A and B are shown apart, each in its own frame.
Chain A
Amino acid sequence: MRRLIYLLPALLFLVLAGYFAWALRPGYDPQALPSALLDKEAPAFDLATLQGGGTLSRDGLKGKPVVVNFFASWCVPCRIEHPLLMRLSQQDHVPIYGIAYKDKPEDAAKLLAQMGDPYRRIGLDQNGRTGLDFGVYGVPETYVIDRDGHIRKRFVGPLTPEQVRDELLPLLQKLAAS
């Protein structure tokens, strides 16, 4: 029985090592935050559109599940993500709406002229207030909003093909079916 006490340090080591291994698991980003608004109603917004005419609003998007992508022309990771959004918008009939976060309309337009426009409509969030309400802490961020206007998923940073395949598309399918 007394001998067992000498095993204690080894045991402690194993517990710690296990914890560290868990915290270092691949694909885990300790800086990524779950949205505080997950499964809650998306904050109301009503933004002038880049194309002019009409607005992009939460209530206007209700009725079908949509993808809302915060982007900016000054944002480098957004350019990384852009081709993927283009493919998504062409192939998968995914309704993607853009919100240009703290961006000048002419800069956003220039970006889309260069790289293509994957968005059905683009709202202008020039003072970043809508981003703040969503809890955006860096562009790009991508939200999935269901037909009732509830946030069902947030992707922080540029979308990856794996995330689209394993998470985004299945979730959209599920939301469309339900």
Chain B
Amino acid sequence: MRMPRLLTRAVGVRRLVGLAAAPAVVTLAAVTLAVVTLAWATLPNTAWAVQPWERLADPALEARARTITAELRCVVCQNESVDESNADLAHDIRLLVRERLKAGDTDSQARQAVVDRYGDFVLLRPPVEPATYVLWFAPVALLLMGGAGSALYLRRRAAVVPAAAPLDAAERARLDALLRDGDA
């Protein structure tokens, strides 16, 4: 009897690896992989950078700290948030924010403590102030300008194209004749 091709190959590999108890090992590996994958996929978006010993005992405070640091830029790796970054400095800033919250700071006070040291640059969401008006309002302004331009263009084009005049009797007769010809 001929074995299906895949099976022969699998048997060959098993022989090659020299695993007598291969099925058990393979099953174990598969189950482990499945569990790890499942855990990875179902855990809430955990930032792996935050170390267990950094966390505050009070879950409410910890949640506030997470929210604050998620909106702070890590100044070493400038496109990551402090919450996500593994940089040493991000670790220090996480601890600073948590320390301040524990000392009774409000969210904005804790955030300000970091801004005082590193400037507005650490805010991933820059403040609205005269220096950032262009940043905040240019997209809206450009959209309005583009919209106005488009509207103007479309209205002018609509005005230019004349409505087609209805066919008169002679034209109608000629069109009918042409259509009849086409059928023949």
- What residues of chain A have their CB less than 8 Å away from a CB belonging to chain B? 31, 33-37, 43, 102, 128-129, 132-135, 137-138
Q: Is the CB of B117 within 8 A of A37?
A: yes
Q: Is the CB of B118 within 8 A of A135?
A: yes
Least CB distance from A17 to B in Å reads 19
- Select one of B89, B96, B115 contacting A137, CB under 8 A: B89
Least CB distance from B5 to A in Å reads 57
In the bound complex, CA of A135 to CA of B89 (Å)? 10
Q: Is the CB of B118 within 8 A of A36?
A: yes
Q: Is the CB of A31 within 8 A of B78?
A: yes
Asked, given contacts A128-B92, A132-B93, whether A138 binds B117 with beta carbons under 8 Å apart, the answer is no
Asked, given contacts A132-B93, A137-B76, whether A33 binds B121 with beta carbons under 8 Å apart, the answer is yes
Contacts of B116 on A, CB cut-off 8 Å?
36-37
B162 within 8 A of A: no
Q: List 7 A-B contacts (CB under 8 A).
A: A36-B116, A37-B117, A129-B92, A132-B93, A132-B96, A132-B117, A134-B117
B124 within 8 A of A: no
Contacts of A43 on B, CB cut-off 8 Å?
117
Least CB distance from A150 to B in Å reads 15
In the bound complex, CA of A53 to CA of B161 (Å)? 91
If A33-B118, A137-B76, A138-B89 are given as contacts, then 8 extra A-B residue pairs at C-beta distance below 8 Å, sorted by A number, are A36-B119, A43-B117, A128-B92, A132-B93, A132-B117, A133-B117, A134-B117, A135-B118
